Amino acid sequence: MTVSAPMSPFDDEGDDAFNAALHMAAVTQLRLDGEGANYLAKQLERGKTKKEALRLLRRRLSDRVYKAMRRDHAITCTPRAAEPMPLRNQPGHDHAIAA
């Protein structure tokens, strides 16, 4: 069994709703015997406690969510999307503001 360093008191801070969603996703993966269950079993074989292994699974899921958010941001923030929208009642804009 390996001895791990004590966790920082700040590790559990953050967005409670996001942490709850990550926990639900992790527990669901465990229940469905999918990739998450395999990852947890591998961590337990490495000597992690169930609590530590579940924390690592949640961290793995959060990394994937962050990666997906970065990818979506890169797609939606192209130079065309970053251009300012034209203002109403400006030359070349044919829509009038309703009174």
Q: Amino acid identity of 24?
A: M
Following CA atoms 40, 20, 75, 83 in sequence, which dihedral angle do they give, to the nearest 10 degrees? Answer: -160
Statement: the pTM of the whole predicted model exceeds 0.75: no
**How far apart (Å, rounded) are the C-alpha atoms in residues 19 and 13?**
9
**How far apart (Å, rounded) are the C-alpha atoms in residues 39 and 30?**
9
Q: What is the pLDDT of residues 21-78, one digit of tens each?
A: 999 999 999 999 889 999 999 999 999 999 999 999 999 999 999 999 999 988 888 6
| Residue in the structure block whose two tokens are 């406690």 | 49
| 25 lies in some domain | yes
Into how many domains does the chain fold? 1
| 90 lies in some domain | no
Burial class (CB in 10 A: 0-12, 13-18, 19+), 50: exposed
Domain of residue 47 covers: 16-82
| 11 lies in some domain | no
| 92 lies in some domain | no
